Structure 1
Amino acid sequence: CAGLWFGGVLPPVLGLGAPAEAAAPAGRTAATPQPAFVELPDIVSNLNAPGRRASFVRLRAKLEVARAEDVATVQAAMPRLVDLFTTYLREVRPEELRGSAGTHRLKEELVARATLAVAGEPRGDRAPARITDVLFVEILVQ
């Protein structure tokens, strides 16, 4: 009996929960907003490298926006986004960008900063724009 319950067979038979045909499909529905992508301008910044030798990073990325109607808001905030990203990258040390863990940390930091930048844009009575991901096209550390 427990196997039938946890296997999901018993609840619909007893009339508990949603019927099997009314269950939501695994994919996106028409009511689910489709994400959009906004390309960032190339960002070149010096890194916080100790010593005399300068180290630079070149970043090309796209922002994933939760709703396509928020693209204009993100583009209006682009100067703020570029400033926040450049300022952050100037404090990063070259060794912090090595490996997949470094790239993942960079992505998390940039998503957090992008979300703050677009949240500051006036939107009237609509919900604030939300950046869901930063997709790296190119990261070059020199």
Structure 2
Amino acid sequence: MSFPTLPQSDYNTSNSLFQQATSTLQFTQQQQQHHQLQQRQEQERASSAAAAPPTQLSTKALAITSCATGGAHPPPLMGSAIVLANDSALHCFGGRLENRELTNCHYVLDVETCIWEVIYEASAPSERTHSFTSSVTGTE
């Protein structure tokens, strides 16, 4: 079986087309400006994060300003329930982890010290996410 061969002139043409198709991407001026804007915004966020104010909680305004926290903080969660208890502790329970597994972990953030704590309870409810509510009863 024999394969047809391209004449040298056709080969050079097809080779140059391949080189053009695989050359470095060129961005438009608008794309470059957008990229530069994103870089500036990231730098501003990084510099403002370093100088973040302490957490301030206003239960009357239902507002929280953020700051760096310590302790055993929860992983990224979706569909968890968060409850403010006694104006001093945020309780975070349940939800779905990034790997889509459900969890029944219970985390508490002391809003005055900004320290997270994991609460281990033998009688914790089963794992859950979405369509559930949490409430706090008692004073402890």
Common topology (TM > 0.5): no
Higher-RCO chain (CA-CA 8 Å, sequence separation at least 6): 1
| TM-score in terms of structure 1 length | 0.21
Q: Give the structure with the larger helix fraction.
A: 1
